[in-house]
Structure 1
Amino acid sequence: MSKVSEMVETTSASQDQLEIKFRLIDGSDIGPKSYPAAASVATLKESILAQWPKDKENGPRTVKDVKLINAGRILENSRTVAECMSPLCDAPGGVTTMHVVVQPPPPEKEKKVPNDLKQNRCGCVIL
């Protein structure tokens, strides 16, 4: 095999893999790790769930709790990593940093006030 064909093969193989690290809200990182360009954003989120530091509080419970941001855009689960890369921001062969936002759990529903307390309210109007 010639040197030129080896370089072309190596370059195309490296383009199929992307180095990505995930920046958490506190400034710490998960990764970097190599992912295939054809991997979906949902796959990245599953990887984040699996690698989430055990000592961090308020971690995501499901993929739906995680939002990934790259180049100022929120990434959709159905898109591939290659589709989400920005040619202006992501240098080929470099490590891409994606920001991770964890949605807080939904607030607990308000406790209902018993009916007898509602009836004790004053209905007077002072003019």
Structure 2
Amino acid sequence: MENQKPYTILVLMNATPQWLTLNRDERSDFVEKELTPIFVRVSKTVTVQLFDSEYFHASVSDFMIVSTTDLDDYKLFIELLRDTKVYGAPYFEIKDIIVGQENLFEDFNERFKKEKQ
């Protein structure tokens, strides 16, 4: 089987007043106790990076870059997040989810070249 190119998924979020009214210790505690176990649970196939963007964007205060070759494990990751206050309070409004694969056009160019032969 050909190596699966990883999916890169951008999860664009905006912090809600419920999140912003937590003090910094409460936020850190939430990440440590609620989110880190989820990140660890899916870590064999899913990597998650957290970014702040509130200084540069009016409607996206934070975003995640998720990388995986296993979309089922990514879906598990999102379902587990949905069971937390990230979605439930909600602490964050999910503004958009964007999925892509790096330089995928090159794969299709190669495929089309082979089909023309």
TM-score (normalizing by structure 2): 0.29
TM-score (normalizing by structure 1): 0.27
Higher helix fraction: Structure 1 or Structure 2?
Answer: 2
Higher RCO (CA < 8 A, seq sep 6+)? 2
Q: Rg: which structure is higher?
A: 1
Higher strand fraction: Structure 1 or Structure 2?
Answer: 2
